[in-house]
Chains A and B, each alone.
Chain A
Amino acid sequence: MVQIHNTTEPALQGLAGGPLKESRLAQLWKDIKKSKHYYFMMSPYMIIFFLFTVIPVVVSFGLSFFYFNMLETPRFIGWENYSRLLLGDDVFMIALKNTFLFAVITGPLSYIACFLFAWLINELSPFVRSLMTLVFYAPSISGNVFFIWLIVFSGDSYGYLNGFLMKIGVLLEPIQWLQNEKYILAIVIIVQLWLSLGTSFLAFIAGLQTVDQTLFEAGAMDGIRNRWQELWFITLPSMRPQLMFGAVMQITASFAVAEVSIALAGFPSVNYAGHTVVTHLMDYGTLRFEMGYASAIATILFAIMLGTNMMTQKLLRKVGE
């Protein structure tokens, strides 16, 4: 059959299917063989990356349909983990509410702060610019020392905030800042913001330095009247790739609040006031060993992070239009 096609109608060879598909596979195999050095170079990284990042995501999704306590063999229970999580777990609802509050406040605020401060710093002379970069970036690389905030919010009169408020006469008695559920959330948000000028801040500083300066002169000719128009019509569109990158970094970090809350408010915090999806995940994963349930929490967190990132990327495409 194939033979006949080949000899009589060579032009139809592609349409006939068989031989071309085969040659495509053969071509692919040839390409793969030719690139064997590349695969070899990538293999150490990729093996570890797949083992500890890609496969775990898949496994986590699969495991979320099982009851698994590390001792017995996993038992398939379908959607039960999810229905229990979404309908029967009041603490999860608190965690979800807190996480969204953190994300809605720290996400956009830290993103805007990263850009705003990078933009202001960019107009300074090189020496002061690098000094200010250090000032803003230092908290996020200071090796997880956010516990230094404990001294500020310490519950007795030696705490800086209590001492200050008592000195100026606002307070008569010290407040137990970190034991009072009214304040915990706000305090964790403040410290999270303090930590949040990280990688995206550097990306913005770098991005601003690469914006083509002649665009500004051209813009002034074309009737751009003030720095805000300059920002919207020239600076922001020129930096769109960095803005995209920064958004991913800030969103991911703002949904993953946990360490700060644990360091300041304890685990679990008073009345779960500082409880987040991640601390809930830790609770079930590392304390109660309900791995299936914890995996369902992880899957939901994964979906939220990915969904928000995709949505934000879509929104950012409209910048400067």
Chain B
Amino acid sequence: MTLYSRVIGALRPQKRLNRSFAVSFMLFGLLLGFGAFMVLPLIYTVNNAFKPLDELFIFPPRFLVRNPTLENFTDLMVIMGNSWVPFTRYIANTLLITLVGTAGHILLASAAAYPLAKFKFPGSSVLFKIVVLSLMFSPHVTAIPNYLVMSQLGWINTQAAIIVPSLAFSLGLFLMKQFMEQIPDALIEAAKIDGANEYRVFWQIVMPNVKPAWLTLMILQFPALWGTDGGSFIYSENLKTLHYALSQVIQGGIARAGVGAAVALLLMTVPILLFIISQSSVIQTMATSGMKE
């Protein structure tokens, strides 16, 4: 199917009863209007990243780029090349935090979700209720005691202060547990009859069946860690993250507008690409995200 026919097909309202064309037209106008509001800042960021200096300082400002250039990216490299800590260091720090944090979270949350989803045992429902309750407040609430715990553990100024708490992100466990409930009990019982122990059932039966949920946990966890600046835990320059280093570039102000846009483009591309790849799995998982009353 060509793109054209796909778009036309989309605009033709579904064959359903009780639809007035005027209201459909208005509602889709609304959708397009707000869609533009969502996407325009991202589009101008892409454009600004490729604008040469004279186009950035044109008045009135122009939205789209006329003569695209890679100047902003090379400037960024020069700025970063002159900094005290090598640029690759920031990238390595961010990759470490993001990869370990995301992979660890998926593993730990799945291991905890499996018993909660499939078995009843003393304490199981209480534990799950606490997890649901913790969805209802943001991590800011626990910031102070967390800082105290970190300093007791001696984790201030280490990557662990960012990675370890993120492993037990409660939304991940919640979604994973809801998704695992769909796995048929018969499958698990059959494996047990064949002599598999709990760990084998988990690893060889359950885990391969919840791949869509892995991708969902990844798409929730990855951008959060990718965009972290180390918060109040990391002070030494050679442990700082990419987001922190790049936001320092932005502090340079309007003169670096092009470089700033190049930075934003670098930061947003990775999570958005990940979402494009995983979209259908994510939607599939979210269908089970409901909360019982």
Decide if A241 touches B268 in the complex (CB within 8 Å). no
B97 at the interface (CB under 8 A from A): no
Q: How far is the CA of A255 from the CA of B13 in the complex (A)?
A: 38
Q: How far is the CA of A141 from the CA of B57 in the complex (A)?
A: 29
Of the 9-residue stretches B18-26, B66-74, B75-83, B85-93, which lies at the interface with chain A?
B18-26
- How near does chain B come to A136, taking the closest CB pair, in angstroms? 5
Q: What number of A residues sit within 8 Å (CB to CB) of B?
A: 115
What total of A-B pairs shows CB separation below 8 Å?
323
B267 at the interface (CB under 8 A from A): yes
On chain B, the residues within 8 Å of A166 by CB distance are: 60
Decide if A127 touches B6 in the complex (CB within 8 Å). yes
Interface residues on chain B, size class: 35 or more
Q: Which residue of B lies closest to A284 (CB)?
A: B144
B142 at the interface (CB under 8 A from A): yes
A317 at the interface (CB under 8 A from B): yes
Decide if A38 touches B115 in the complex (CB within 8 Å). yes
B183 at the interface (CB under 8 A from A): no
**A158-B61, A205-B283, A306-B136 known; A59 vs B112 contact (CB < 8 Å):** no
Interface residues of B in 198-251 (CB under 8 A from A): 198-199, 202, 219-220, 223, 226-229, 232, 243, 247, 250
**A56-B146, A158-B254, A244-B293 known; A127 vs B116 contact (CB < 8 Å):** no
- How near does chain B come to A266, taking the closest CB pair, in angstroms? 11
Decide if A120 touches B31 in the complex (CB within 8 Å). yes
**A199-B220, A240-B293 known; A136 vs B38 contact (CB < 8 Å):** yes
On chain A, the residues within 8 Å of B111 by CB distance are: 41-42, 44-45
Checking A123, A230, A245 against B289 with a beta-carbon cut-off of 8 angstroms, the contacting residue is: A245
B180 at the interface (CB under 8 A from A): no
Interfacial residues, chain B to chain A (CB-CB below 8 A): 1, 6-7, 9-10, 13-14, 16-20, 23, 27-28, 30-31, 34-35, 37-39, 41-42, 44-45, 48, 56-57, 59-61, 63, 108-109, 111-112, 114-116, 119, 121-122, 124, 127, 130-131, 133-149, 164-165, 167-168, 170-171, 173, 197-199, 202, 219-220, 223, 226-229, 232, 243, 247, 250, 254, 257, 260-261, 264, 267-268, 270-272, 275-276, 279-280, 282-287, 289-293
Interfacial residues, chain A to chain B (CB-CB below 8 A): 28, 31-32, 34-35, 37-39, 41-42, 44-46, 48-49, 51-57, 59-60, 63, 113, 116-117, 120-121, 123-125, 127-130, 132-139, 141-145, 147-152, 154, 156-160, 163-164, 166-167, 194, 197, 199, 202-203, 205-207, 209-210, 216-217, 220, 224-227, 229-230, 239-242, 244-245, 248-249, 251-253, 255-256, 258, 278, 281-282, 285-286, 291, 294-295, 298, 301-302, 305-306, 309, 313, 317
